[in-house]
Amino acid sequence: MSGRDWELVGAPNARDLGGLVGADGRRVRRGVLIRTPALGRLADEDLPVLAKLGPACVVDLRDHSEIAVAPPDRLPGEPTVVHLPVHDAEHPVFTYVSAVLLGHDLGAYAALAEEGTPAAMAAIYRWFVTGESARESFGAAVRLAAQARNLPLVYHCSAGKDRTGWLTVLLLGALGVDEAAIRADYLANNRLTESLREVILEAMRRRQPGLDVAAVRPVLEVRPEYLDAAYAEVRRVHGSFGAYLRDGLGVTDDVVAALRAHLLE
């Protein structure tokens, strides 16, 4: 499994992807590929941990509208910060998730419940594969990871589970990590964020008596069917994961080779 030899109090689902087995049995190097949620809620004690990891580049997958209402990322040192928004105005669910995570009083819980159903979440994952801005940003992020000067690379969205989760699928898939290990890392989010999720749900209950928690929970979790929807869309549109990387994202064989050269032991 990926490394958990450090933790960030303010980002419980942050983790190092090092240690996963990739192409030719070579493991992903430790300390070079770090997935996190937004870093504006890091505790003071988290900063030395992040400083020790020493990110050279931080990729932020949030839209400007999400960044504007969130506390700024707490970043030690002077990493290059690259904004590659993955945002679809037709699917405002991420805006709602951001507001919930930040403790904003939405008054839009009905919309959240509507936008955050399992079916709506699966639709968003299909859009990850086909949406123009999604393809542009995900492709650019993978190409950044293939350049040694950008390592260690930290990447995040708001919650660090959906857009961050799919970028992780792309990176690990390109590195030759098998699908079962990729899926296990994706689903680890639920275990790592369980206590935080229950705190959020309890706060929502208090603020909104009568709230249907079951209708909100799908948007605060990751689920196998979300990932399945994206993989099915890859097969439907491109036939194979390799073709999707190449034709959908512009991740050429040379980029894949560079990723493996820099990120695998």
Closest by CA to 71, choosing from 79, 59, 62, 58, is 62
Give yes or no for a contact between 143 and 250, defined as CB atoms under 8 angstroms apart: yes
C-alpha dist (Å) from residue 20 to 14, 48, 96, 180, 212: 16, 25, 33, 11, 38
**Catalytically annotated residue among 42, 99, 100, 157:** 157
Query: Hunting for tokens 């020493």 — which residue is that?
Result: 54
C-alpha dist (Å) from residue 184 to 175, 187, 221: 16, 5, 14
**57: annotated active-site residue:** no
**Burial group, residue 33, by CB count within 10 angstroms (0-12, 13-18, 19+):** buried
Residue 80 dihedral angles phi and psi, to the nearest 5°: -70, 130
Give yes or no for a contact between 201 and 216, defined as CB atoms under 8 angstroms apart: yes
Active site residues: 157
